[in-house]
Amino acid sequence: MVLFSEGQGEGSAGGRRRKSVWAIGGGKGGSGKTFIAVNLGICLSRFGEEVILIDTDLGGANIHTFLGLSFPHRTLSDFINKRVGAIRDVVVETDIPNLGLVVGAQDLLNAANPKEPQKWKLIRHINSLDVDYIILDLGAGNSFNVLDFFLISENEILVVTPEPTCIENTYRFIKSAFFRKVKRVVSHYGVKEIIDMAMDQRNERGIKTPFDIIELAGEIDKSIGLKLEQELESFRPKLIVNQVRTKGDVELGFSMRSAFLKYFGISMDYLGYIVYDNDVWQSVQKRRPLVLEFPQSRASKCINEITLKLIIDKPFLFNSTR
């Protein structure tokens, strides 16, 4: 029996189910991206959905450790280095029903730094997997590889912990992702130059916000300005605050959403928070997923709640007036 099959290739949507790709990213290492990716995947699979977790942390893969699995003999390296022809060949089954896993590359050379065509081939193959949900666990940092995986997803999820450095990295990640997103859709050299300039915080033209880019692009060519405006409107990352200890930490999500709204002019969805819980530490030590090892823990309930919000695609707004 083929548990996880590949579709009929690009563009052949006939007969395939509606699939949703979620990316878990956020810039800073240690914020809990892999922990959240694994546990969200398990929660989804328990809803009866077929899920594949993909460790896209090229060069630093460790998602298998969170599932208590030893390093499998088939990994993303085999696909990137053309030892296998299709991504389904590197999907390994887990002992959790409906949950498959693609372990990331651990090579230091080729697979850790795939060339552009290799990366886009990988992305095409990921998109062709015929399952209900694909969860991408992203590596740390703002490299183009990380950003491109983030941007192909339907749910672009950011994980932040209540620490200034992590918050700073998260904003940097969001800005980089937006700049990458708009740069991919414009071909005009002058506009590309403006976007590059915006990456430098102290640029000579004083470009700071996405609106500045849109305005300048619009001055060069009105249609490009409008196009960038549409890109901004479709950019709607979602936020999870992890390791919450105080009410102030919970409110950080709302505060970041508000700051983001004023800066970008669009709303970021605050999906919720995960409490700081000793059970999390214990589950990681035991190499057992939290939602299986401690299903009644407070952190497990938070993850379940977030999964539900994502499934129903209506992040509710913690609004006391509703």
Residues in touch with other proteins (CB under 8 A): 18, 43, 46-48, 162, 164, 167-168, 171-172, 208-209, 211, 229, 232-233, 247, 250-252, 254-256, 258-267, 295-296, 301, 304-305, 307-308, 311-314, 316-322
Say if residues 277 and 297 touch (Cβ distance below 8 Å): yes
* Residue 43 or 134 having the CB closest to other proteins: 43
* Residue 86 or 317 having the CB closest to other proteins: 317
User: What contacts 281, CB < 8 A, 6 or more positions away?
Assistant: none
What is the nearest approach in angstroms of other proteins to the Cβ of residue 165?
9
What is the sign of the dihedral through the CA atoms of 75, 73, 140 and 275?
Answer: positive
* Residue 58 or 214 having the CB closest to other proteins: 214
What is the nearest approach in angstroms of other proteins to the Cβ of residue 178?
12
* Residue 134 or 256 having the CB closest to other proteins: 256
Tokens 């030892």 -> residue: 83
Amino acid at 7: G
Q: Provide the 3-class DSSP secondary structure of residue 166.
A: helix
Per-residue H/E/C for 94-111: CCCCCEEEECCCCCCCCC
Tokens 């959240």 -> residue: 36
What is the nearest approach in angstroms of other proteins to the Cβ of residue 311?
7
What is the sign of the dihedral through the CA atoms of 72, 5, 13 and 237?
Answer: negative
* Residue 165 or 223 having the CB closest to other proteins: 165
What is the nearest approach in angstroms of other proteins to the Cβ of residue 2?
20
